[in-house]
Amino acid sequence: MPLSARIAAADAAYRDRPAQAEAEARAPARPAPDLSGVDPEYLSMVEQLRDAVARNPDDPEGLSLLATHEMRLGNLPAAREAQARLVELSGDAAQPAALMQLATLMIEAAGGVITPEAEALLDRALQRDATLPQARYLRGVLFIQNGRPDLAFPIWRRLLEEGPESAPWIPSIREAIEELAWLAGDDEYRAPPAAEAAPLPGPDADALAAAGAMSAEDQQQMARDMVARLQGRLAEQGGAPEEWARLIAGLAVLGEAEQARAILAEARQRFGQIPEAIAPIDRAATEAGLER
């Protein structure tokens, strides 16, 4: 098939993509989230937050909080509704991360298909922050879905070169990049060797030695402090999938199963589009007995 014919076919497929509503109608039905193990006080708090947002639907802070907590409960349609309202209220001032979050929720609702509506959000995010790696990764996915490996390859190649190796999109890129290069017409490309990932933050040798001399109660408090610091850092800065897995495991060990499940739901929303990234998170959930 001549190159010009392939490009024409790809362009036709791109133009003929289903709209968001059609893609969602075609997507497999999602099971309702299992809330039986969630702390009733937390559910009550979320219900109060829903009521507050219903009374004041133009409150950006309330909408942002509601979207976050609905995601943690696995209630993705409600999370998307709140996030969409937040983006609508923000208008041209919408933050790139908020646009990216809404696009991700829409892609998940569409069964992984990047629809024209989701693409428009990715474009807006990249216009505000051209370096946003998650949006660039998904643009590469968009080109792959529509038969343009020649456009996907340079995007993914740059992301692989930038790293870091612990970024959740790197395993997917590394696994596919050489075949993608071949499909793009570069049969000599070889992926650079993986850089050694930086060690995950954790206690140093002195802290571990000190812990050995502590009472059981002090060791438990030290563990709680470490988990709290990790949770705070991930909430503020994000982190690698392995760090989210460590947080889930740590909360489960401390007996905070409900909180661990909430973090698990949030981690799956963040990394669910990337199988290699979600694998350690799913493994931690299984080992912690959180899967039903």
Which token pair is 159?
A: 């992301």
Is 96 found in the same domain as 12? yes
* 43 or 55, higher pLDDT: 55
Contacts of 259 (CB under 8 A, 6+ apart): 39, 251
Least confident of 77-81, 182-186, 235-239: 235-239
Q: Are residues 146 and 93 in the same domain?
A: yes
Residues 6+ apart with CB under 8 A from 205: none
Boundary-marking domain end, from 183, 218, 235: 183
Domain around 92: 3-183
Residues 111 and 236 in one domain: no
In this prediction, residue 196 carries a pLDDT of 61
- Please write the tens of the pLDDT for every residue from 152-207: 999 999 999 998 887 878 888 998 999 999 999 899 999 988 766 555 555 544 54
194 within some domain: no
User: What type of residue is 275?
Assistant: P
CA-CA distance, 194 to 268, in Å (whole number)?
A: 25
* 198 in any annotated domain: no
Residue 218 pLDDT > 90: no
Alpha helices in the chain (DSSP H): 3-15, 20-26, 40-55, 60-73, 76-90, 96-109, 116-128, 133-145, 149-162, 170-183, 205-212, 216-237, 241-253, 257-271, 275-287
171 and 44 together in one domain: yes
Same domain, 160 and 236: no
Average pLDDT over residues 54-60: 93
**In this predicted structure, what is the pLDDT of residue 125?**
94
Query: What per-residue confidence (pLDDT) applies to 228?
Result: 82
CA 222 – CA 207 distance, rounded (Å):
10
Percent of the chain whose predicted confidence (pLDDT) is above 90 = 40
Averaged pLDDT score across all residues of the chain: 84
The reply to whether 177 and 225 lie within a common domain is no
- Largest pairwise CA distance in the chain: 73
Q: Residue 201's pLDDT is what?
A: 56
Tokens of 138: 């998904």
118-143 pLDDT tens trace: 999 999 999 999 999 989 999 999 99
> Is the same domain home to 122 and 219?
no
Strand (E) or helix (H) holding 239: none
In a domain, 30, yes or no: yes
CA atoms within 13 A on the CB side of 53: 23
Are residues 147 and 236 located together in one domain of the fold?
no
Vertex 256 angle, CA 197 and 199, to 5°: 10
Residue 82 domain-assigned (yes or no): yes
- Higher pLDDT: 242 or 125? It is 125
The pLDDT, as a whole number, for residue 177 is 92
**Residue 70 located in a structural domain:** yes
pLDDT at residue 275 in the model: 66
Could you give the number of structural domains in the chain? 2
Residues 119 and 210 in one domain: no
Which residues, at least 6 apart from 149, have a Cβ–Cβ distance to it below 8 Å? 143, 180, 183, 184
The fraction of the chain above a pLDDT of 70, given in percent, is 87
CATH number at residue 120: 1.25.40.10
Domain-ending residue, one of 149, 183, 217: 183
Please tell me the pTM assigned to this model: 0.69
Domain termination residue (choose one: 128, 150, 183): 183
CA 136, chain centre distance (Å) = 14
* 140 and 223, same domain (yes or no): no
Residue 208: pLDDT band (50, 70, 90) is: very low
Summarize the confidence of residues 91-101 as an average pLDDT: 91
Residue 106 has a pLDDT of 92
In a domain, 65, yes or no: yes
Over the stretch 250-287, which tens digit does the pLDDT of each residue have?
Answer: 888 877 877 888 888 888 777 766 766 777 888 888 88
Q: Does residue 175 fall inside a structural domain? A: yes
In a domain, 261, yes or no: yes
> What's the 3-state SS for 44-98?
HHHHHHHHHHHHCCCCHHHHHHHHHHHHHHCCHHHHHHHHHHHHHHHHHHCCHHH
Q: What is the mean pLDDT of residues 4-33?
A: 89
